[in-house]
Amino acid sequence: MRVIRALAFTAPAAALCGILVCAGSALAAPPMTTPVPAKPAATAPSAPSQAPVDPARLALAKEYMNAARPRSPQEMLDQTVRRMVNMAKLANPKLDAKKFEVQRRAVMMKKMTESLDMQARVIAQHYSLEELKGLVTFYKSPLGRKLVKETPLIMQQIMAERRNEMANASNMQTLQKVQSGQAAKNK
């Protein structure tokens, strides 16, 4: 539990997880969400991500995003498009796979670029020029690169251990129920 808390509150780990989740969402289907009632226009805040951002901060935000992810957006796009082509070919063996790939890649590239630009704008609004320089410097350092490389592995290990804990707890509850049932029969 201490490891989970330590990771959960480590700012670089949290930032990396947020960036990875956001970057992945640009390549995935739209998430299923529960509709949230819209706020009246008079009380809704203006969209902060549309505010003008210093171009230097924007460039550093993009550099930070690239440094803070384990795979490049192009690698993620290539993997996603390959999966889409394979699934489409299974659904329609007569599909012109090359044409489908070119079309899907163009659509996905446009969506990914828009998403990454939006993310960079938002990040640039939350960090000063000096803070962004620090983030870039950190994520390009040996320790920063190790954080990027190791975080997914650490999270996999934590999840595996958590599943084991839950399975053991479930097994203990089942054993206790069986034992309490046998004790009741013996009375």
Which tops the pLDDT comparison, 185 or 20? 185
Q: Which of 18-22, 47-51, 99-103, 161-165 has the lowest mean pLDDT?
A: 18-22
Q: Distance between CA atoms of 27 and 16, rounded to whole angstroms?
A: 17
Could you tell me if residue 12 is inside a domain?
A: yes
Mean pLDDT (the chain) is: 79
Stretch 134-152: mean pLDDT: 96
- pLDDT (0 to 100) of residue 138: 97
Could you tell me if residue 35 is inside a domain?
A: no
Could you tell me if residue 174 is inside a domain?
A: no
What 3-state class would DSSP assign to 68? coil
The total number of structural domains in the chain stands at 1
What confidence tens digit (pLDDT) does each residue in 41-98 have? 444 444 554 678 899 999 999 999 999 998 888 999 999 999 999 999 999 999 999 9
The position carrying tokens 């069986």 is 178
Q: Where are the alpha helices (DSSP H) in the chain?
A: 2-8, 11-27, 55-67, 73-91, 97-126, 129-140, 142-186
Which tops the pLDDT comparison, 72 or 147? 147
What confidence tens digit (pLDDT) does each residue in 98-123 have? 999 999 999 999 999 999 999 999 99
Could you tell me if residue 89 is inside a domain?
A: yes
Which among 7, 9, 13 has a CA at the least distance from the CA of 138?
Answer: 13
Domain enclosing residue 101, as ranges: 1-27+61-164
Could you tell me if residue 110 is inside a domain?
A: yes
- pLDDT (0 to 100) of residue 36: 44
Contact call for residues 152 and 70 (beta carbons, < 8 A)? yes
Contact call for residues 128 and 58 (beta carbons, < 8 A)? no
- pLDDT (0 to 100) of residue 187: 67
Could you tell me if residue 65 is inside a domain?
A: yes
Angle between the N-to-C axes of helices 142-186 and 11-27, in degrees from 0 to 180, rounded to the nearest 10: 90
Could you tell me if residue 66 is inside a domain?
A: yes
Could you tell me if residue 154 is inside a domain?
A: yes
- pLDDT (0 to 100) of residue 165: 92
Look at residue 141 and tell me whether its pLDDT is greater than 90.
Answer: yes
